[in-house]
């Protein structure tokens, strides 16, 4: 059967958010410099196993690759090159907007490229834009065909859209909950004219819990038996000492 575009995008957002969470989780555990103790740290803003930025990213990639049929180029090579560059530009734009909004509105840095060559405000940089182009290419050759299969499956099993609805219900509650936490962090950052680094706060809470042999709650990386303000105060005093 034929499905409407909003349902397709909702389904891909759901798949992308969950897959992105898994990728980030593994990356942070084994490769990230922000986690030298190699702990399992719940990635992203939300509590549950989803990172919405990846959901948006998957939607963007799907839409970009869907533009292929409108290509003005005769050659397949030129068409693909244009697609991958468009994709890199779109992903960089998403990254810039998300990074800017969180920095300006929330005083929170979700990621920091300030050490990278050619970076703009530590939010975007050429190295990651090139990585986005590569990712769009990987998506095009290896993932998109499966996405089309998954969409064909969904069109035959529309009852599954119930679960997509359920996901959005839980996701919205989670996002609202996280927004409450973010508002608290923002208030603290504004009071102290500071810029908070999301992952650093989580790592700090976790290290404190480990030192106290307190059980860490994987899905609540900001909560411990000690008030969050005290952890934030430590982070800011460390930063002040380093200046």
What pTM does this model have? 0.80
- Model pLDDT, residue 19: 92
Q: Which helix (H) or strand (E) holds 65?
A: helix 52-66
Cα-trace Rg, the chain: 20
Number of alpha carbons in the 13 Å side-chain half-sphere of residue 21: 17
Inter-residue contact 39 to 76 (CB < 8 Å): no
User: Helix 76-106 vs helix 161-191: angle between axes, to the nearest 10 degrees?
Assistant: 50
CA distance linking residue 164 with residue 140, whole number of Å: 24
pLDDT score of 178 = 85
Neighbours of 26 (CB within 10 A): 13
Interatomic CA distance for residues 137 and 242, integer angstroms: 42
The pLDDT, as a whole number, for residue 196 is 85
- Could you write out the DSSP letters of every residue in 91-139? HHHHHHHHHHHHHHHH-EES---TTSTT-BTTTB-HHHHHHHHHHHHHI
Q: At what angle do helices 161-191 and 5-30 cross, to 10 degrees?
A: 50
Q: Is the dihedral of CA 67, 71, 75, 80 positive or negative?
A: negative
Q: Could you give the 3-state DSSP secondary structure of residue 240?
A: helix
Residue 128 in tokens = 């990651």
What does residue 218 show for φ and ψ, rounded to 5 degrees? -55, -45
- DSSP for residue 220: -
Residue ranges of the chain whose pLDDT lies below 70? 1-2, 243
Q: What pLDDT is stored for residue 2 in this prediction?
A: 65
């Amino acid at each position: 059967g034929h499905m409407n575009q909003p349902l397709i995008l909702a389904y891909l957002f759901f798949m992308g958010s969950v897959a992105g969470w898994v990728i980030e989780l593994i990356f942070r555990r084994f490769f990230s410099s922000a986690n030298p103790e190699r702990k399992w740290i719940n990635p992203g803003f939300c509590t549950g196993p989803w990172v919405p930025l990846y959901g948006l990213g998957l939607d963007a990639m799907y839409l970009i690759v869907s533009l292929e049929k409108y290509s003005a180029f005769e050659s397949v090579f030129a068409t693909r090159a244009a697609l991958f560059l468009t994709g890199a530009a779109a992903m960089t734009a998403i990254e810039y907007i998300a990074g800017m909004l969180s920095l300006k509105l929330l005083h929170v840095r979700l990621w920091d490229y300030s050490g990278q060559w050619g970076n703009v405000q530590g939010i975007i940089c050429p190295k990651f834009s090139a990585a986005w182009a590569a990712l769009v290419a990987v998506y095009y050759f290896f993932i998109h065909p499966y996405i089309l299969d998954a969409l064909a499956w969904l069109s035959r099993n529309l009852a599954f859209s119930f679960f997509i609805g359920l996901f959005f219900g839980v996701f919205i509650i989670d996002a609202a909950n996280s927004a409450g936490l973010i508002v608290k962090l923002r208030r603290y950052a504004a009071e102290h004219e500071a810029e908070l680094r999301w992952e650093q706060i989580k790592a700090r809470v976790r290290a404190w819990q480990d030192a106290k042999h307190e059980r860490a709650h994987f899905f609540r990386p900001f909560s411990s038996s000690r008030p969050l303000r005290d952890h934030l105060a430590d982070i800011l005093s460390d930063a002040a000492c380093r200046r």
